[in-house]
């Protein structure tokens, strides 16, 4: 195992950005930058032991800063906060106070706002022990930033193990009541560019219910059963099998079948050509499955790959959308004296 660090460029205001490369010693290599906490590259072995790229991203910082990327804002590989997913009408009420957030997705607030955690510079520290190598990122989101209350200190630790497991551990504390829902927005394509989309990837999500949403992707408050619908991934089948039955494609939170508060399996993906397998475990109550519906071919990434519709998929472990306005959903409130903790693990293997 090893970790290296190299310069990755500068932001428009002159902040120096670094790129950290983590290697497992067993075929997995991950590049992470302290700009937005972005996973820019993730190489894993295929059935023949040959490493290949399995995430969407760029090789240069300037591509993440370009006007074309900002206009599309796909959040490739980035840390998302303070609140991942949508908040209806960009407002919520907490302890009798109403807070107004930036509107950046139709009539709603999405992924922390105009300058969410995906566009800030994190303080980085290398971490390493006998079993893991990683980088710990810390960011102070000041009271009122993007409309959120409280000075929030967030810490996100990426750890890669000898066993080819990537752990993302999230923590946060605040000095004022606030809301929080952190996640990572990596897009995956396990074929290493061999296929033009991910519709043949075979997906399992152990969820008997999902979060129903309206036309602007805000929850209705209902949690329908997945059984007998195109939302049923309790048994493995290709992503594309039922996608035409879902208006716009998949962009839904699945309510995980949990039996406790610890890590539970949230998803498993199998790619038939490379025979790569990715398993996702989490402490979160839900996982957002997004099938890359808004990718439109205007962005090119690793190897010149054209990121067209459905070229990648996301599996974002998180609480439910709009939870601050949905009293029946698990709470996303964080109070002074409490510590927000969340853990997600990605396991990489072949079949």
- Structure tokens, 257: 């079948």
Annotated catalytic residue, options 111, 302, 316, 319: 316
Active site residue 222: no
- Structure tokens, 9: 């460029």
Q: Which domains does the chain have, with CATH numbers?
A: 2-350 (2.70.98.10)
∠ CA 155-21-204, rounded to 5°: 70
Q: What is the pTM of this model?
A: 0.96
pLDDT in tens, 133-169: 999 999 999 999 999 999 999 999 999 999 999 999 9
Annotated catalytic residue, options 109, 185, 302, 310: 185
Active site residue 202: no
State residue 130's pLDDT score: 87
- What is the band of 261 on the pLDDT scale with cuts at 50, 70, 90? confident
Residue in 15, 14, 13, 16 with CA at minimum distance from that of residue 5 = 16
Query: To the nearest whole percent, how much of the chain has pLDDT over 70?
Result: 100
Mean pLDDT of the chain: 97
Q: Can you tell me whether residue 245 is helix, strand or coil?
A: helix
pLDDT in tens, 269-283: 999 999 999 999 999
Residue in 238, 275, 267 with CA at minimum distance from that of residue 349 = 275
Tell whether the model's pLDDT for residue 259 goes beyond 90. Answer: no
Task: List beta partners, residue 342.
Answer: 170
State residue 8's pLDDT score: 97
Token pair 């408050």 is found at 221
CA–CA gap between residue 168 and residue 343 (Å, rounded)? 6
């Amino acid at each position: 195992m090893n970790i290296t660090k190299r310069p990755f460029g500068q932001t428009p205001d002159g902040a120096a950005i670094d790129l950290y490369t983590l290697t497992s010693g067993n075929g997995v290599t991950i590049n992470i930058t302290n700009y937005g906490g972005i996973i820019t590259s993730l190489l894993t072995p295929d059935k023949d032991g040959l490493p290949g790229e399995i995430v969407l991203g760029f090789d240069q910082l300037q591509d993440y800063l370009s006007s074309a990327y900002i206009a599309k804002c796909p959040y490739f590989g980035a840390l998302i906060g303070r609140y991942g997913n949508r908040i209806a009408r960009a407002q919520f009420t907490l302890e009798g106070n109403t807070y107004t957030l930036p509107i950046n997705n139709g009539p709603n607030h999405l992924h922390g706002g105009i300058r969410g955690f995906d566009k800030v510079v994190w303080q980085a520290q290398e971490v390493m022990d006998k079993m893991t190598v990683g980088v710990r990122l810390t960011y102070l989101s000041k009271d009122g930033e993007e409309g959120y209350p409280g000075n929030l200190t967030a810490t996100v630790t990426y750890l890669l193990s000898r066993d080819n497991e990537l752990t993302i551990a999230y923590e946060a504390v605040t000095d004022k009541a606030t809301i929080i829902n952190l996640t990572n927005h990596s897009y995956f394509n396990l074929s290493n560019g061999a296929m033009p989309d991910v519709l043949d990837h075979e997906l399992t999500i152990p969820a008997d219910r999902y979060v129903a949403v309206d036309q602007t992707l805000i929850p209705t408050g209902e949690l329908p059963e997945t059984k007998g619908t195109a939302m049923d991934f309790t048994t493995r089948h290709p992503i594309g099998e039922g996608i035409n039955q879902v208006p716009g494609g998949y962009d839904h939170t699945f309510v995980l079948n949990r039996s406790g508060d610890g890590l539970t399996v949230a998803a498993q993906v199998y790619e038939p050509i490379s025979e790569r397998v990715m398993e996702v475990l989490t402490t979160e109550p839900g996982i957002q499955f997004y099938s890359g519906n808004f990718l439109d071919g205007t962005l090119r990434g690793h190897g010149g790959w054209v990121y067209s519709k459905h070229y990648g998929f996301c599996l974002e472990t998180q609480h439910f959308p709009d939870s601050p306005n949905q009293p029946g959903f698990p709470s996303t409130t964080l109070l002074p004296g409490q510590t927000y903790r969340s853990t997600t693990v990605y396991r990489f293997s072949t079949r």
